[in-house]
Amino acid sequence: MLLLQIDFPYNGPTGDEMAEGFKDLAYSIAKENGLIWKIWTENKETKEAGGVYMFENLPDLQRYLDMHTKRLESFGVTDIRAKIFGVNEKLSAITKAPL
């Protein structure tokens, strides 16, 4: 399993308003090959948003990252930051990770 962390500057709606506005996008992301889950992140004070994703494998993760980066750029988003991490499943299980 691999973890993808994405964040970017964001000055749009948060909370319930964000949930309603991006509901269709969330349903679309949920269908992505290799995606196990996504946690949506938002910080109104620092004007940032993004997500933390768990993927089954690197090819699906990389394909999604490339596609999602292009999608964000088409929305006018710049300064997109992405990091890929391996997951230590044994230690994560001890600390109650949803694996």
Give me the phi and psi of 33, to 5 degrees please: -60, 135
Measured distance CA(39)–CA(62) in Å, rounded: 18
Specify the pLDDT at position 41: 98
Structure token digits, residue 85 = 């991490």
Architecture, CATH, for domain 2-94 = 2-Layer Sandwich (3.30)
pTM over cut 0.85: yes
The pLDDT tens digits for 7-34 are 999 999 999 999 999 999 999 999 999 9
Going from N- to C-terminal start, the domains of the chain cover 2-94
Specify the pLDDT at position 99: 81
Specify the pLDDT at position 98: 87
Specify the pLDDT at position 18: 96
The pLDDT tens digits for 57-96 are 999 999 999 999 999 999 999 999 999 999 999 999 999 9
- Strand 2-9 versus strand 81-86 pairing type: antiparallel
